[in-house]
Chains A and B, each alone.
Chain A
């Protein structure tokens, strides 16, 4: 561990040159309102700050430094142009409540992104206010709830979610006021139609689906599912986490989905930032359009762009953010979309799928077991290491940790929950075949190591700044805030 910034602190040390140049008095404020002791913040020089955080950055794996095949997260290259251009002063220094007539440049980017995503998803309307995928899910499900209630159909309290779904799906359904009913998956990774038919009924509010699913395969009976759910009176929610697999080729609207979210930090390559900020697009068909959350950008007959707010959208489910969502992220997605253009978007799914299938085939040829060997991979594939666990005593987690020693970020582990000892591997379209070959090589060598010297794998990683961490201790002896030993209460 690198020393904490607080441990560099010395009373009276300053990062000079950063102090305000104007008067600073508060003698008019009543003493009872004032703080009596300064907050516990570090007192360090500017160089110490820059060096400390530069060093910390070097303790991260990132797309810019490592292959990062984290399944379901779409860790593709984040173009530097998108970052630089989104940070132009005209965008960066703009107050969110500045009048729209002074923000036509920014609004035109947001409006055009709405329009492009409408075309790319086949939905009737798209808004960009959710600040993350999970917020898009919440909004989408809240709209479904509002739709049924507006029709006096209050018995629809149940949402169907396949057992392979992302954890956010059931959690969002509950936050939107529903109960969740799980639907099993069949042997080849498709939704179990018999179970679905048995589950739908007058209580069904809708179903949440990811397609291609989190099992890395395309749900082949999607139109049949849509028919069953729609006939029962339910609506279809599309979780766009895996849109990278089909962008420009298949559209959720054509698959009969009523509402969807897309993670712009996945398919549209905005940075993951160490866990945020994300941003989501929310798309709807005609039935849910009145309930869209505000604000979003509208264009009048004269071409003037403005924000649609609650006054013009009386049936909206409301607001999700204090202002207008993550505008800076939207700009990055817009720039990326313009760099790709129409044919570039289609190439995304082409090469993402080519890479995933190539990787799956090469892993299989190297003797690894695919979870769904009879299926085409989508933009990701699943390897199950249950044989390695049984015969060699090394788990998927051990493989994941050992991959770090080979200079590769681990794939997603133990998700989806229904595949034992699994690695969910998503290479994305921006990786070269040499990188994929190197990954297969690393996996093969790790398996050899496991046969020869299993502790080398079981105790990995060896080369990272810290070795395997004690999660049980972390949860049991909570240490969430630093306190100098013997020092004063930090408060």
Chain B
């Protein structure tokens, strides 16, 4: 029997101890009408480990991932082998939340080191032990900012950029809706792709806004004047939330030093730091902030303290914020962090160090620039927002709808980027490619030649109609 150690003798002895003749008798408090004899046949019979292995290999084999120039919130970086060799050690893999601190110093110290690294990357003073993913981290950051504004009687409106990941927007709306918190959208400037300055200035002058979310890079991969907007928002008593890409922070000005006083909270998707794409999860979200705001922070937090012999050690702290203590009055219902992924990120950042991470970030940028330069030599292709600085994604536009081309590329095993037509119909000729350090210059050349061939055949005969996307 899979995973059950009991021999028939064991069972007999145990039943004797219990004074019952069959295990079924142990369920005699359950109303008989509720009991079923067996599950429906739609639950299949058991497979051996060998048979399951065959099945999963077949399925994985059919899902050839393809050459990935797709980003849009999940990034294909190289992950050193040591990361997951260590992460999947049973002592990390099969431990639980470190409630018994003395028996969990490994996990707790990893989290403390992680908190230190995330604080350093974002340039802020404190970090939590992670949240579910980047989108839920943004939602929790907004709830946190609203609690702070609520406490000090500040403005209540939340300003979200239009050039925000569409799924992040939907997660934020899902979480904020029951709290009756309203959001407003700051449009992007159709020329630069950045926050529309006139609109935002007028909105800020109008008053009543409490929270400003600055995405750097924004969903288009573009880099904004975050210093100016941070200072402007702070003059009006607003809380500034920085939504950032952690790889980019090896080279970009970190949120803690934006403008004169820095963003108040930073958050984002941690996946680029050693977590495989893995069909969308598990990833982790990070959340850092000013020390003065820590008591409004959601999620687990690890602190260093001393044991009864005076030696340093680690424990979960500030638990009075959390659901298992505060119940209905907790900061959040969150009951876990993403421990294993945080372990991966801590290993990844240790292996790369400040120099390695900066090299990865620079390589991503340089290769994206190379792709942009290379593809824009093709007829009809140009940057969507020429002249605007970008990190490792950059919107391009062609003179016809892009979706059939992206589908044809995918048929050839190449994921060419995110179809911006699904972001907004006005961008149906635009797409968002991404290049990381994991692609080679030959991969970029291959992208160009595939697209060139498709453009050529489209000139001779229109590309087939778009099939429905799935």
Contacts and interface: CB of A to CB of B under 8 A. Distances in A.
Interface in A136-170: 137-138, 142, 145, 166-168, 170
Given A39-B250, A50-B86, A94-B278, A102 B66 contact: yes
Contact of A1 (B41, B284, B311, B356): B311
A33 B367 contact: no
Interface stretch (B147-155, B164-172, B202-210): B164-172
B354 A470 contact: no
B98 interface: yes
Contacts of A456: none
5 contacts: A88-B57, A103-B279, A145-B178, A329-B282, A491-B257
Contacts of A354: 6, 11, 14-15, 23, 26
B94 A5 contact: no
Interface in A446-478: 459, 461, 464-471, 473-475, 477-478
A109 B92 CA distance: 26
A136 B187 CA distance: 33
Nearest to A337: B43
B399 interface: no
Contacts of A470: 305-308
B453 interface: no
A106 B279 contact: yes
Given A35-B249, A63-B94, A104-B63, A344 B1 contact: yes
Most A CB within 10 A of own CB, among B86, B119, B177, B277:
B277
A170 B64 CA distance: 44
Given A24-B363, A119-B42, A95 B253 contact: no
A231 B465 CA distance: 54
A338 B47 contact: yes
Contacts of B353: 13-15, 41-44
Nearest to B317: A474
Given A171-B332, A482-B116, A14 B355 contact: yes
B132 A132 contact: yes
Interface string B67-89: 01010111010101010111011
Contacts of B311: 1, 466-467
B60 A137 contact: no
Contact of A35 (B252, B281, B306): B252
A230 interface: no
B107 A60 contact: yes
A28 B369 contact: yes
Interface string B114-133: 01110111011111011011
B191 interface: no
A6 B116 contact: yes
B59 A106 contact: yes
A56 B100 contact: no
A50 B80 CA distance: 11
B340 A271 contact: yes
B184 interface: no
Contact of A273 (B93, B313, B370): B93
B218 interface: no
Interface stretch (B28-36, B374-382, B454-462): B28-36
A166 B326 CA distance: 11
Contact of A57 (B92, B133, B223, B329): B92
B313 to A, nearest CB: 4
A60 B105 contact: yes
A319 B100 CA distance: 34
Contacts of A20: 78, 359-360, 363, 437
Contact of A90 (B63, B117, B357): B63
A65 B284 CA distance: 26
A413 B132 CA distance: 26
Given A56-B106, A174-B328, A482-B113, A108 B303 contact: no
A81 interface: yes
Contact of B136 (A137, A279, A320, A338): A320
A22 interface: yes
B318 interface: yes
A401 B30 CA distance: 35
B62 A105 contact: yes
A39 B121 contact: yes
Interface in A2-36: 2, 4-6, 13-15, 18-26, 28-30, 32-36
A459 B4 CA distance: 36
Contact of A131 (B11, B40, B136, B227): B136
B34 to A, nearest CB: 5
B97 A274 contact: yes
Contacts of A491: 119-120, 123-125, 254, 256-257
A90 B65 contact: yes
A481 B14 contact: no
Nearest to A18: B80
Contacts of A254: 34, 36
Nearest to A82: B52
Contacts of A391: none
Contacts of B41: 342
A276 B29 contact: no
Given A22-B366, A180-B328, A324-B279, A272 B95 contact: yes
For the complex of A and B, 3 pairs with smallest distance between CB atoms: A341-B46, A64-B90, A323-B280
B330 A167 contact: yes
Given A18-B352, A342-B41, A475-B317, A33 B253 contact: yes
Contact of A60 (B106, B173, B367, B415): B106
A197 interface: no
Given A1-B105, A176-B178, A481-B115, A357 B18 contact: yes
Nearest to A22: B363
A254 B31 CA distance: 11
A315 interface: no
Contacts of A28: 369, 389
B212 to A, nearest CB: 18
A251 interface: yes
Contacts of A124: none
Contacts of A467: 102, 307-309, 311
A480 B109 CA distance: 11
Interface in B250-274: 250-254, 256-257, 269
Contacts of B31: 220, 222-223
B96 interface: yes
Most B CB within 10 A of own CB, among A42, A44, A68:
A42
A338 B107 contact: no
Most B CB within 10 A of own CB, among A217, A344, A410:
A344
A271 B341 CA distance: 12
Given A57-B86, A63-B90, A76-B3, A329 B281 contact: yes
Given A26-B366, A39-B249, A135-B132, A19 B356 contact: yes
Nearest to B170: A319
Contacts of A2: 105, 109
A61 B174 CA distance: 37
B430 interface: no
Interface stretch (A282-290, A382-390, A426-434): A426-434
Contacts of B93: 62, 64, 78, 83, 271, 273
A356 to B, nearest CB: 9
A173 interface: yes
Contacts of A24: 359, 362-363, 366
Interface string B240-252: 0000000001111
A321 B124 contact: no
A58 interface: yes
B315 interface: yes
Contacts of A465: 102, 105, 313
Given A1-B105, A272-B96, A343 B34 contact: no
B407 A54 contact: no
Interface in A293-345: 293, 304, 306-307, 310, 317-329, 331, 335, 337-345
